[in-house]
Amino acid sequence: MIALLRSVRDFFSLVKFSHTVFAMPFALIGFSLAVSKQEFDLSIRLLLLVMLCMIFARNAAMGFNRLVDKDFDTLNPRTNKREIPSGIISVRGAAIFVIINAGLFIATTGFINRLTLFLSPVALLVIFGYSLTKRFTSLCHFVLGLGLSLAPIGAYISVTGKFSILPLIYSFIVLTWVSGFDIIYALQDDEFDKSNQLHSLPSATGRKKALTISIIVHSITFALVLFAGFYGKSGMFFWAGATLFTILLIYQHSIVRHDDLSRVTLAFGTTNGIASLLFAIFVILDLILRYH
């Protein structure tokens, strides 16, 4: 039993399971947007299926990322203690983990509706594809953002079986928000990326310009949050959540400088995790109070 628990812990560490907090709250926003419509009722079964899809898809994507990057992770002093380079998890074990989670993701979408099942391979293609983009483009951050942006619109489709404008706006919020903070995260590896022919905005433009680009991208995030609020005719709880989300966006840029990366982890992980949770709580509260 102890060995099993240790193995589960190792795989959770492999995929940074705690980082599920980035996209899961936005999936719950997409789900809540759907069930706020009169023709759709809240289904706990469907909610659990959506959450399982998020977990399986992210596990598969992160496991795949660790597999294809294993050689680079071994060379990088920042990452050479990760589970695969250090031998805690074997390449074969990681590959099996990815295959199982990808299979469970597709199977779970089949229990939701035909459209989600049909789109599931496309979703896997996007989230797996991100792991290869650092080989050829400095825009890899935006591919990561695209992958996570599937959360709100995917959850919405799970309930309604169709697309809609408002959840798409939330998807664009996720795309720009994630892309912006991934640029900050990539500051840590700019020199390593240069010396190993890997691509990122910090390695291509330098830290200072990359931070400026991140600020611009997050300014677009702010504009999209405003757009979502006005388009959705949101109430006071939405605007309270939007204010907190914006403050935390600003805060992460205030604590990271091109010549001081000591607080990148705080900006990347803690701040954005809190921002996502708070924003989702207030948006969902707003929907509950306005439509029920």
* Whole-number pLDDT of residue 213: 97
d(CA 277, CA 58): 18
Residue 221 has pLDDT above 70, yes or no: yes
Residue 12 has pLDDT above 90, yes or no: no
Q: What's the average model confidence in pLDDT over 1-12?
A: 72
In a domain, 131, yes or no: yes
Q: What's the average model confidence in pLDDT over 220-233?
A: 97
Residue 3 has pLDDT above 70, yes or no: no
Question: Which amino acid would we find at residue 57?
Answer: A
In a domain, 177, yes or no: yes
Least confident of 74-88, 185-199, 217-231, 261-275: 261-275
* Whole-number pLDDT of residue 22: 83
In a domain, 273, yes or no: yes
* Whole-number pLDDT of residue 278: 96
In a domain, 81, yes or no: yes
In a domain, 281, yes or no: yes
CA distances from 182 to 26, 76, 87, 168 (A): 17, 18, 27, 21
Residue 135 has pLDDT above 80, yes or no: yes
Q: What's the average model confidence in pLDDT over 226-231?
A: 97
Q: What is the CATH number of the domain that holds 264?
A: 1.10.357.140
User: pLDDT confidence of 206, banded at 50, 70, 90?
Assistant: very high
In a domain, 1, yes or no: no
* Chain segment 16-27, per-residue pLDDT in tens: 877 777 889 999
Domain that holds residue 37: 8-153+160-291
d(CA 160, CA 150): 15
Q: Cβ of 12: how many Cβ atoms within 10 Å?
A: 13
* Whole-number pLDDT of residue 289: 87
In a domain, 2, yes or no: no
* Whole-number pLDDT of residue 1: 64
Beta bridge partners of 219: none
Q: What percent of the chain has pLDDT over 70?
A: 97
Q: If residue 161 lies in a helix (H) or strand (E), which one and from where to where?
A: none
* Whole-number pLDDT of residue 178: 96
pTM across the whole model: 0.94
In a domain, 110, yes or no: yes
Buried b (16+ CB within 10 A) or exposed e, 41-60: eeeeebbebbbbbbbbbbbb
CA-based nearest residue to 172, from 125, 126, 226: 226
User: pLDDT confidence of 105, banded at 50, 70, 90?
Assistant: very high
Q: What's the average model confidence in pLDDT over 219-245?
A: 97
* Whole-number pLDDT of residue 130: 92
Classified as helix, coil or strand, 137 is coil
d(CA 157, CA 122): 14
Q: How many domains does the chain have?
A: 1
* Chain segment 233-275, per-residue pLDDT in tens: 999 999 999 999 999 999 999 999 988 888 898 887 889 999 9
* Whole-number pLDDT of residue 10: 81
